[in-house]
Amino acid sequence: MESDLIRRRRALHALRQEGNGPVAPVPLAPDVLRDEVRASWERCAPAVSTATSAAPTEDVDLRDGWDASPIRRSAPDVVAELESTAVGGDFVAGISDATGRLLWSGGGHSLRNRTEQVNFAPGGQWDETSVGTNAIGLSLVLGRPVEVFADEHWCEAVKDWVCYSAPVRNAGGAVVGVIDLSTTWRRATEAGMSVVSALARLAEHELSRVRFPLATRATLDLQLLGSTRLAVLDGVPLLLTPRQLDYLCILETREELSLDQLRVLVDGDRALGAATVRSELASLRRAIGGGLDLDPYRLTIVVTSDRARVLRRLAAGDLEAAVESYGGPLLPHTGSPTLLEERELLDELLRTALLERGTTEQLLAYGRHHPDDRQLFQTAIVRATSLAAVLPMVDDTVRGVIGDPRLPG
């Protein structure tokens, strides 16, 4: 068995050397390099240096995060079994949250010092965008149990390890964390995958018996209309890029999308490379607390938005509330052809309703976001009860478009 492991590692090492490392194009060798590992290397190349010596970590108190972990709360026996397996088999075990951040670790003392040197400890961030190809990060991307062996790891600092990970899903199908077992590559065994897979299934069985109230789920509010352009997670504003807001705006109204579907919807014929988009979406997933399933992509947290509020209030016939919720055109600076169409549709729906039955005040409130729409202002004036009532509402910008409302024509 050991000779098989040695041959496998030598083949991987030679492959990396032949390509001058995983950053350079690696020759096709499907019998040596698995497709999922090759794809992971392609995603990692623009985001992570192979010289990264340890996972990034934050100096924060993680007790609340571990206390709130659905795995700890619902499956404490799984945690105990995982630790027992790690100690008995000279493994190091870990449990992460849905973003790949370790919340708990345990296992054999002979390995703990080595793993702590690379921050395989509570607080360490083990998603792909932070530390490259590794079992926790890859299982989050693929949504299934994975093994990462020796030189399959992206970073040199962890290439002496073999790691087995499996995601854990709640009753609604959302990933809530990852279970991991790791050891040195010479101790690789098929039992590692069997153990983490079985423990993940057991944890999911326990989670399926518990129904947490909806109020405990995170809520993401998207403010996409007008100049605000903001995402707020449980009351906390997030620092997101314009493209990440485009992704959220698209995903809000779709049940799930493949990577290629999402790329085309956001950028049309000018779609970015798959590796770049995957990296951006992985970063977005971390920013929203893991509330995004990956490939196929779908939001798994409660999502609200000002766009949805406008549409819902229009459908209910509450034109006053719809106008109050409307802060301007949808994502004014987006270049997405899909979102440009959705912006035009939303504006046309609200404009049509206002021209049919809107009051002077409602027409002018909407018109301030569309100062070149002469018909809106003329309709507002026609419906005014008196010129004295409408004049204070007509500012200089509007007068420049329609002229003085006191004059004919």
Nearest-5° angle of CA 221, CA 222, CA 224?
A: 155
**Statement to judge: residues 49 and 118 lie in one domain:** yes
Give the confidence band of 386 by pLDDT, cuts at 50, 70, 90. Answer: low
**Statement to judge: residues 174 and 90 lie in one domain:** yes
DSSP letters of 5-21? HHHHHHHHHHHHHHTTS
Q: What is the CATH number of the domain that holds 248?
A: 1.10.10.10
**Statement to judge: residues 196 and 52 lie in one domain:** yes
pTM of the model: 0.52
What is the span of the domain harbouring residue 30?
A: 2-208
**Statement to judge: residues 314 and 402 lie in one domain:** no
Average pLDDT of the segment spanning 339-362? 94
Q: State pLDDT tens for residues 92-137.
A: 999 999 889 999 998 877 787 788 889 999 999 999 989 999 999 9
* Res 283 pLDDT > 50: yes
Cα 409 to Cα 395: distance, rounded to the nearest angstrom: 18
**Statement to judge: residues 43 and 162 lie in one domain:** yes
Domain finish residue from 208, 235, 261:
208
pLDDT of residue 61: 62
**Statement to judge: residues 217 and 322 lie in one domain:** yes
Total domain count, the chain: 3
Q: State pLDDT tens for residues 19-65.
A: 545 544 444 445 668 889 989 988 988 888 988 989 998 766 666 67
Domain finish residue from 147, 174, 208:
208
Whether the CB-CB separation of 25 and 19 falls below 8 Å is answered with: yes
Q: Which helix (H) or strand (E) holds 400?
A: helix 396-402
Residues comprising the chain, all counted = 409
Q: What is the CATH number of the domain that holds 60?
A: 3.30.450.40
Cα 279 to Cα 109: distance, rounded to the nearest angstrom: 35
**Statement to judge: residues 287 and 170 lie in one domain:** no
**Statement to judge: residues 137 and 253 lie in one domain:** no
Peptide bond into 296 cis (omega under 30): yes
Cα 105 to Cα 179: distance, rounded to the nearest angstrom: 10
* Res 184 pLDDT > 50: yes
**Statement to judge: residues 133 and 120 lie in one domain:** yes
Q: State pLDDT tens for residues 224-235.
A: 999 888 999 888
**Statement to judge: residues 57 and 177 lie in one domain:** yes
Nearest-5° angle of CA 255, CA 261, CA 267?
A: 120
Q: Which helix (H) or strand (E) holds 222?
A: strand 219-223
Query: What share of the chain has pLDDT > 90, as a percent?
Result: 39
**Statement to judge: residues 23 and 167 lie in one domain:** yes
**Statement to judge: residues 56 and 188 lie in one domain:** yes
